[in-house]
Chain A
């Protein structure tokens, strides 16, 4: 089949590659929904799959009772994993979807695809700044997926966004606040932002600590390695965060050998086994 399971075995009930591709265009919405998840999960990046997923982003049927667009959400998430930039224009259009979760998935995927054509569309979602970043009436989320947008702008190295992002470091919702902090570290390389993530690793909120560990790893803030090793959380998550740190170009500039700082990370990892 030529497919490698990325984080586990393919279950016995899983589709064959041929079935998954056929189901992407099935009449049955639930089959399309599952197939869209499946091709992302197993990283099936090939032109006919990308094309079918892009088509799915424009599919208007199959709404949830609340007006959500589940197929579009899955298609947008999958496209982020498949590393094909031909999906970028369609994902940019999805940033204006009426469905919050489609906008969120599109922002995340655009951050993963690292194509700077997405910057204006992402910035548009920050319009009105912190004052406009309030809870959507009757919803369990804010009016826009601010954390996903901020994270994407950081990943995209959107230097022009720094002044727009900075006020969000004072947003009342921690995950928005720290998404802004993370982005500013990526955009400026200024240790004050890395240190702010590290300080929060000593905070009382376990869920937040779990998320921030991954952030420190993903942005390659090597000085945060000890804080990850010491924070009160599961060793499994610490090891994943430190893996991200050890594999970051900051620790292994040539992608093959470690700097001394990189070796320090391996020592910490050994201590967590």
Chain B
């Protein structure tokens, strides 16, 4: 496996971390790569972020999952570096990065998530973004910004709930459920959309997901 050296390998890394990064760069099999990325992720060191981001583009799903877990474990520290390094040319890498941002759920990712959910050509990116939009931690956003932001999220998810791809519609429904849980004032509008999908969608699994979302919202009152 030929892999470019990690970006920004600087001399002020701790010797341990340098070694972990080198193990990722030098991994010569799929399995070794996965192991090396897991070890690097477990170090929970922000200096590992560039390497973890690079791994998302290696077309190795096992390694990508480990890298996403590592980025998510770093939490808010990782948000700005991820936003700065999202790969505009590799949609698989972009989908993994969006998944990391969606799980960290920091509202600083709002604009990227909205743009990705709305305009990205790749269903894997649109689905990750749709789910993430519903899971944002609104308490971390300045209160006066919330009303407009949540309306924009609702608008994008409403469009995605009728996307051509079933998986994007499925993700939009998961996102809508999350949005209604965290923003109860949107509850009735979301319920209307969910009821429509629960009966009108062409894919059984999407109808089932919508129905389940309705049940969960009802259970919460």
By the criterion CB–CB under 8 Å, are A266 and B208 in contact? yes
Task: Give chain B nearest CB distance to A239 CB in angstroms.
Answer: 6
Say yes or no for B194: interface residue by CB 8 A criterion.
Answer: no
> Interface residues of B toward A: which range?
20 to 34
Say yes or no for A247: interface residue by CB 8 A criterion.
Answer: yes
Task: Give chain A nearest CB distance to B55 CB in angstroms.
Answer: 14
Say yes or no for B71: interface residue by CB 8 A criterion.
Answer: no
Which residues does chain A contribute within 8 Å of B190, judged by CB atoms?
Answer: none
By the criterion CB–CB under 8 Å, are A269 and B170 in contact? yes
Say yes or no for B51: interface residue by CB 8 A criterion.
Answer: no
Select A273's contact among B30, B171, B211, beta carbons within 8 Å.
Answer: B171
By beta carbon, the residue of chain A nearest B98 is A273
Say yes or no for A50: interface residue by CB 8 A criterion.
Answer: no
Task: Give chain B nearest CB distance to A206 CB in angstroms.
Answer: 8
Which residues does chain A contribute within 8 Å of B13, judged by CB atoms?
Answer: none
By the criterion CB–CB under 8 Å, are A273 and B205 in contact? no
Which residues does chain A contribute within 8 Å of B205, judged by CB atoms?
Answer: 243, 246-247, 266, 269
The interface size of chain A toward B, counting residues with CB under 8 Å, comes to 25
Say yes or no for A130: interface residue by CB 8 A criterion.
Answer: no
By the criterion CB–CB under 8 Å, are A232 and B34 in contact? yes
Say yes or no for A258: interface residue by CB 8 A criterion.
Answer: yes
By the criterion CB–CB under 8 Å, are A246 and B208 in contact? yes
By the criterion CB–CB under 8 Å, are B204 and A257 in contact? no
Convert B116-136 into 0s and 1s, putting 1 for each residue whose CB lies closer than 8 angstroms to a CB of A.
000000011001101100000
By the criterion CB–CB under 8 Å, are B174 and A270 in contact? yes
Which residues does chain A contribute within 8 Å of B128, judged by CB atoms?
Answer: 273
Which residues does chain A contribute within 8 Å of B92, judged by CB atoms?
Answer: 234
Which residues does chain A contribute within 8 Å of B212, judged by CB atoms?
Answer: 258, 263, 266
Q: How far is it, in angstroms, between the C-alpha of A8 and the C-alpha of B163 when the chains are bound?
A: 11
Say yes or no for A235: interface residue by CB 8 A criterion.
Answer: yes
Q: How far is it, in angstroms, between the C-alpha of A273 and the C-alpha of B123 when the chains are bound?
A: 10
Q: How far is it, in angstroms, between the C-alpha of A262 and the C-alpha of B164 when the chains are bound?
A: 24
By the criterion CB–CB under 8 Å, are B61 and A266 in contact? no
Say yes or no for B62: interface residue by CB 8 A criterion.
Answer: yes
Say yes or no for A11: interface residue by CB 8 A criterion.
Answer: no
By the criterion CB–CB under 8 Å, are B204 and A273 in contact? no
Convert A2-13 into 0s and 1s, putting 1 for each residue whose CB lies closer than 8 angstroms to a CB of B.
000000110000
By the criterion CB–CB under 8 Å, are A232 and B131 in contact? no
Q: How far is it, in angstroms, between the C-alpha of A262 and the C-alpha of B211 when the chains are bound?
A: 12
Q: How far is it, in angstroms, between the C-alpha of A236 and the C-alpha of B171 when the chains are bound?
A: 12
Task: Give chain B nearest CB distance to A2 CB in angstroms.
Answer: 16
- The 6 nearest A-B residue pairs measured at CB: A232-B62, A273-B131, A247-B204, A273-B171, A243-B205, A246-B205
Residues of A within 8 A of B (CB): 8-9, 204, 206, 232-236, 239-240, 243, 246-247, 252, 255-258, 262-263, 266, 269-270, 273
Would you list 23 pairs from A and B whose C-beta atoms are within 8 A, ordered by A residue? A9-B164, A232-B61, A232-B62, A234-B61, A234-B92, A235-B124, A239-B167, A243-B166, A243-B167, A247-B205, A255-B204, A256-B207, A257-B208, A262-B208, A263-B212, A266-B209, A269-B209, A270-B131, A273-B127, A273-B128, A273-B131, A273-B167, A273-B174
* Besides A247-B205, A257-B208, A270-B174, 6 new A-B residue pairs in contact (Cβ under 8 A), listed by A number: A9-B164, A232-B62, A235-B61, A235-B95, A246-B208, A273-B174
